[in-house]
Structure formats: C-alpha cells, structure tokens
Amino acid sequence: MANRCRFWQNCKLNNTTTLNTSTDSFTAGLTATEDASAKLKTTTAPAAAACHPPPKIAENVVRTAEKKAATKNTSLLLLAFLAGVYIALGAVLFSVVTNDLAAHIGDGMSRLVGGMTFSLGLVIVVLGGAELFTCNNLIMTMGFLQKRINYRQVLYNWTWVYLFNVIGAILIAVFFLFSGIWKANDGAIALRAVDIAYTKVSLPWSEALFRGILCNWMVCLAVWLSLAGKDAISKIVGIVLPITASTAIGFEHSIANTYFVSMGIFLKAQTGLQEILTPLAIEGLTWRSFFTNNLIPVTIGNIIGGAIFVAVIYWQIYLRSTLQNTAGKPAAGSARSEQKLPS
C-alpha cells in the first residue's frame, strides 16, 4: 500500500512538472511570436516616397530663387559663363554624333539619339552647378510670384546670366573651330554644323517664337523633375527625358542656338568648305540674320515658355493659396536689389 501511494505521488509530481514545462514553453513561444510580429510590423512600414511631391518641388523652387538672388556678383557671372559652356558642349556632342547618323538609322532615330546626347549639357548644369538663363525663367519667376524676391532681382539675374551664357557658348564655338575636330569624317561634321546653323536662321519669325516657347516649357519641366529626385540617378532621368524629346522634335533654345549658329558662321569662312557649301548658306548665314531671325524670337519664346507656362501655372496650383502665410516676410537679399549693374 505504501509503495502504491509513493507511486501515485511520483506520477502527480511528474505531471505537475510536465505541465509547468509545457506552460513555460507555450509562454516563451507566444513571446517569440509577438516579437516576430512586432519586427514584421516594423519592417513592413510604408517606405518613404522615392521623389518629392509637386507641392514640395514648388517650395524648393522658391527657396532656390532666394539663394540665386543672394549670390554674389562674381560667382553669378562665373556660374553663368559655365552654364553657357556646358550647354555648348552638349551641342558639340550632338553635332558630332549625328553628323551622318540619319543615313544609317533613319531621321527619327537619329533625332532621338541626338536628343539624348544633347541632354548632357543640362545634366552638367543641374548636377555640377551653374546659372542657365532658361532655367532661371522658371526659378526666378516663382520666387517673384511668391514675393520672396523683387522684380529688380529677377531682371538683374536674367540680364547677366543671359549675357555670360552667350559668352560661354561662343567661346566653345571658338575652341571647337581651332580644335580641328570638325574636319573629321571628310568634313561631314562641319557640313552638319553649317546645315544646322543655316536651318535655324532661315526659320520664319513666328515659327522661331513658338519653337522657343515649346523648348523652354520642356527645359523647365526637366528642371522641375530634377528637383523631384532625391538622388543623382533620379535627377538625371528627370532631365534626360524632356530634353531628349525637346531636341528630337526640333524646338529652339536660345543659348544652344548661340553655339550652333556661331559655329556655322565660323565654319562657312573656311576655305575648304566654301567650295562645297551652297551660296544660300554662305550668304544667309550672318550675325544679323542670327539676331533678327532667331535669337530675338527664340529668347522671347523661351521666357514665355518657362515663366508663363511652367512657373505661373505651377505657382497658381501649389503656392498661391499659401501666399498669405508669407505676406509679411521681407524679400530675401533686399539690399541686393538696390545694387547697380556692374559696369
């Protein structure tokens, strides 16, 4: 009997131990499950947006306008000079790549490839840092509309940036002339350059104007999309797509045209080319025809396209309703607005 009692006591003790162990295991398992669930919730949290939304882009444009308005004179002029150089380098690449490409892949594909190569210029301007007149048509206009800068600052920036963009673009044309690269492919690069220049100065005034409007509409959209990107690759893609389209279609950019037509004028005077150029190209390609038939209407069109069709419209959509919040804030760099233009 005593042995039987001890047997049942041992069984009861073993069952109790087993139950406690099972309970502890269940509790530990439940805790581990909860920890895993917590980690899963943490790891599956919504990812940050890959790019800035349009309202944020608009705010960034205005802040950029304030920075540009406060840029010192020497820095502004040097950055503007560099922008002209960079755009001209993209134009050089365009001319070299497409000099005989249409004969191999057709006109349409040649335009597409040419547009992609030309976008190099704006990629360097945006990522490398430079002051481009057509980009500033968007940026400075939005800053003015948001009352962060005044009209004097806008005109100051546009005037000097435009002038030094032109200087930079012409300098690259001079360098390319003396480099002799235009002689390659039996002079096909030179003929392509002259053909591009003559086509541009032969445009009717109205066509040059509307091509200028459409061009800077696309250029400013490229700048807008680049400001949406959070990394270099995103910015490059945002720039390349609109610029490729603009160039392939045949729109007109005032600073790029300064290089293209200058190059044509320089090359038409070369002895070896005069024998194969048409009299119309030789006689029609002049500085006067460039200014009156192309540069003036294209520049006006660029201003309209960037300032009206991009800056004003996006400001109306995203920033006008916030204007009352900044109504009492003084314009940035107000002292700068009283400066005289450098002589």
Q: Domains for the chain: give ranges and CATH numbers.
A: 55-326 (1.20.1080.10)
Q: What digits encode the pLDDT tens for the residues 253-268?
A: 999 999 999 999 999 9
**Amino acid symbol at 196:** I
Single-letter amino acid, residue 188: A
Q: Look at residue 316 in the predicted model and tell me its pLDDT.
A: 96
Per-residue pLDDT of the chain (343 residues; tens, 9 = 90+): 444 445 445 544 454 444 354 445 444 444 544 554 555 455 555 556 688 999 999 999 999 999 999 999 999 999 999 999 999 999 999 999 999 999 999 999 999 999 999 999 999 999 999 999 999 999 999 999 999 999 999 999 999 999 999 999 999 999 999 999 999 998 999 999 999 999 999 999 999 999 999 999 999 999 999 999 999 999 999 999 999 999 999 999 999 999 999 999 999 988 778 778 878 788 889 999 999 999 999 999 999 999 999 999 999 999 999 886 655 555 555 444 444 434 3
Using alpha carbons, select from 160, 176, 164 the residue that is nearest to residue 91: 176
114: helix, strand or coil: helix
Residue 9: what pLDDT? Answer: 52
Helices (H) and strands (E) in the chain — how many of each? 17, 0
Provide the β-strand partners of residue 51. Answer: 229
List, in sequence order, the alpha helices (H) in 128-231: 133-145, 151-179, 188-201, 205-228
Are the C-beta atoms of 150 and 144 separated by less than 8 Å?
yes
* Cα–Cα distance measured from residue 196 to residue 179, given in angstroms and rounded to the nearest whole number: 19
- Residue 223: the pLDDT is 97
Tell me the residue type at 5.
Answer: C
- Are 255 and 216 in contact by the 8 Å Cβ rule? The answer is no
